[in-house]
Structure 1
């Protein structure tokens, strides 16, 4: 009877988890800003507490870090718009240069281009014996860009509003949850879980942000020394990509390789850029950050990659940024709840 009850509980729990994930996928426009606001609250909560110690009212102390973060983001977007546009214009002009560097691939590239031209001619040719109907799209590229920009702005506004009220409320939600739990043991366990999540995730986010900023500064300095202009663009890109474990630095290596091939005539000089970027990431990712976080986070690398792939499929780039913290929270909860301890053991490195 007990074994049957455990099986029923397991499958019921599995169905509940699937329902939660399905709702998170279907309502991503609402759920994703809420999740981002919760993690930003964990990151900015120490700043609000520090301002409160200096007798700054909580209503003002909650909005000041948000204004600072939004101002930095707006300034970065304004500063990077011109370099991004310049490199976007370089891409079509750099194809001949890439072919010079990659002579081995020039033959297959020409064959592929010819096959694509033939396929385009076949696709554009009207079928015989049928009436051709021209379908006009009212959106076009401008409409699609406007729709995408509107979705991003809506999500940003939702995140900022929820973040402000989370910072303003402080520990109100925790107190309310503790109040409705039936027994003292449950109340104590809930407080311990919430405190550990807040402490560990806050430390993780703060440490990773500082280390990624150091990676961005080091990358910008190295690229400037190598003669690659727009150092703010490369430093910001290295800073952002380093938030995505494993996959982000790999993408960065490819981007710096492409930038080197488009900029320098010498193939060896072009290869130096991704090598130096990889060395910087190796020093940070394999020595400094693990030394600072090893006591708090020891997660299975294979499961980290699977988590990255899954959350990127669920929520795109923001999901990839949240994959590791979400996996860390799952491990913290699993270690604290007896029925989930086997899952916590599975998540360990």
Structure 2
């Protein structure tokens, strides 16, 4: 995974023993370059109080996720749309109108995306019950589990048919049942989208007002310059990351759709869109995509070997993109420790669900950019580096 090129000021000289030397690598001396020491706080109370502060912030973030998540999402989208608003402003379009046009463009694209794919998704959902016998043939060891799934689907169909014949609404478990959970989930999603759009509009319209106010209240000129540099690097690097990842995801989606069409899988645009969206979640998204394309292959082909073709092609496309193209485009800007990226994905998915998994890498990237620029946090920035 990629994020921000290492700061030349933080380069380390590693003394490594030569071949045949009895000294192990574990005892090699790491000597910082002159004037670039990354000193850790020597007072244990600093670690203790810092840990308590981080835990308090995370706890508040978890409890207030319905407010914090839309604000963070709006801030990241602001980094993506800010260049567009500036281009429109150079064309003598007022910032308020430019922000509104940018948001309308994003919402219209998402709405068209959903409408275009809702039909194929519904068709595949209808194919699933009829495709269970084919899945049984491919997965004989799991026959008992599939039988339970089939009986559950049949019971659900009987309940739906009975409700349609009676002309009444079926309520499962009252307000706390399935229907209540679905209504509550849809309501929370709509509330979050409205909050995100509202905050995003005012962030785009305000421009650099918050940065100017921060610079004005900082006492030293060096602090003012540092605040501007951090803000510019976050905006430049995160915007470049989001634009590059979106472009590469579009390439992955188009290639996946073409491969599915050549394989004879119906609705290739649907699977291209699935590959496009899943690629926003590093590591975990492609793994989930392999499972989806394996299921699609089993529902499409009678032979198990042919059923393995769609996930194999998807994996090949992802390997080409993830191991060559994207690193080549982003390596000059940033490198992140892949282990910490996976841990960040798991943590933010637990905190905020799928939106948290999408925001995990930008959040980790911003943390590294800030840590590299602030002397007390340079050790943390070095630890986050890939």
Same fold (TM over 0.5): yes
Q: Choose the corresponding residue for 1:64, options 101, 111, 133.
A: 101
Deviations along 1:46-104, one digit per CA (max 9) or x if unpaired, are 11111111111111111111101101111122222222222222222222211101224
Match of 1:148 in 2: 185
Q: Note closer, same or farther for the CA distance 1:4–1:150 as it changes in structure 2 (3 Å cut).
A: closer
RMSD: 2.0
SS of residue paired to 2:174: coil
Shift of residue 138 of structure 1? 3.5
- 1-side partners of 2:45 and 2:217: how far apart? 26
CA distance in 2, matches of 1:214, 1:144: 36
1:233 aligns with 2:233: no
Aligned residue among 292, 300, 303 for 2:329: 292
Q: Classify the secondary structure of the residue corresponding to 1:265.
A: coil
Shift of 1:217: 0.9
* TM-score (norm: length of structure 2): 0.81
**How big is the shift at 1:8?**
1.9
Cross-structure match for 1:283: 320
Q: How far does the alpha carbon of each residue in 1:255-310 deviate from its partner, in whole angstroms, 9 at most, with x for none?
A: 00000101111211111100111111111110010000001111111110000000
User: For the residues of structure 2 that align with 1:80 and 1:149, how far apart are their CA atoms?
Assistant: 19
Alpha-carbon shift at residue 25 of structure 1 (Å): 0.3
Unaligned 5+ runs, structure 1: 118-134
Aligned to 2:249: 212
Q: Deviations over 1:148-186 (max 9, x none)?
A: 111111100110011011111110011111111121111
Q: List per-residue Cα deviations over 1:3-56 (Å, max 9, x = no partner).
A: 997322222222111111111100000000000000000001111111111111
The separation in 1 between residues aligned to 2:384 and 2:361, in whole angstroms, is 12
Residue 363 of structure 2: aligned partner: 326
Instruction: Compute the displacement of 1:345 (Å).
Output: 1.1
Distance 1:211 1:247 in 2: 17
Alignment of 1:170 onto 2:207? yes
Tell me which of 48, 62, 82 is aligned to 1:25: 62
- Specify which structure has the higher proportion of helix: 1
Q: Could you list the runs of 4 or more consecutive aligned residues of structure 1 that deviate by over 4 angstroms after TM superposition?
A: none
- Work out which structure has the larger RCO, using CA pairs closer than 8 Å and 6 or more positions apart in sequence: 2
Matched, 1:191 2:228: yes
Q: Secondary structure of the equivalent of 2:212?
A: helix
Consecutive unaligned residues in structure 2, runs of 5 or more? 1-39, 153-171
Segment of structure 1 superposing worse, 303-312 or 75-84: 75-84
3-state SS of paired residue (1:138): helix
In structure 1, the residue matched to 2:32 is none
Partner SS state of residue 295, structure 1: coil
Identify which of 145, 166, 189 aligns with 1:109. 145
Contact 2:78 2:203 in 1 (8 A): yes
The offset of 1:322, in angstroms, is 0.5
TM-score, normalised by the number of residues in structure 1: 0.89
The size of the alignment, in residue pairs, is 327
Structure 1 distance, partners of 2:55, 2:325, is 37
Name the residue aligned to 1:223. 260
Q: Which moved more, 1:79-88 or 1:270-279?
A: 79-88
Q: Distance in 1 between matches of 2:217 and 2:196?
A: 27
Deviation at 1:226, TM superposition (A): 1.0
Quote the residue 2:119 is aligned against.
82
Q: CA separation of 1:50/1:229 partners in 2, compared to 1, >3 Å: closer, same or farther?
A: same
Q: Secondary structure at the match of 2:79?
A: helix
Decide whether the 8 Å contact of 2:174 with 2:180 is kept in 1: no
Structure 1 residues 4 and 320, CA, compared in 2 at 3 Å: closer, same or farther? closer
Alpha-carbon distance in structure 1 between the residues aligned to 2:298 and 2:41: 63
Deviations 1:207-265 (A, max 9, x none): 00111011111111111111111122111111110000011011101100000101111
User: Does residue 1:40 correspond to 2:77, yes or no?
Assistant: yes
User: Are residues 1:307 and 2:344 paired?
Assistant: yes
- Distance (Å, rounded) in 2 between the aligned partners of 1:113 and 1:56: 60
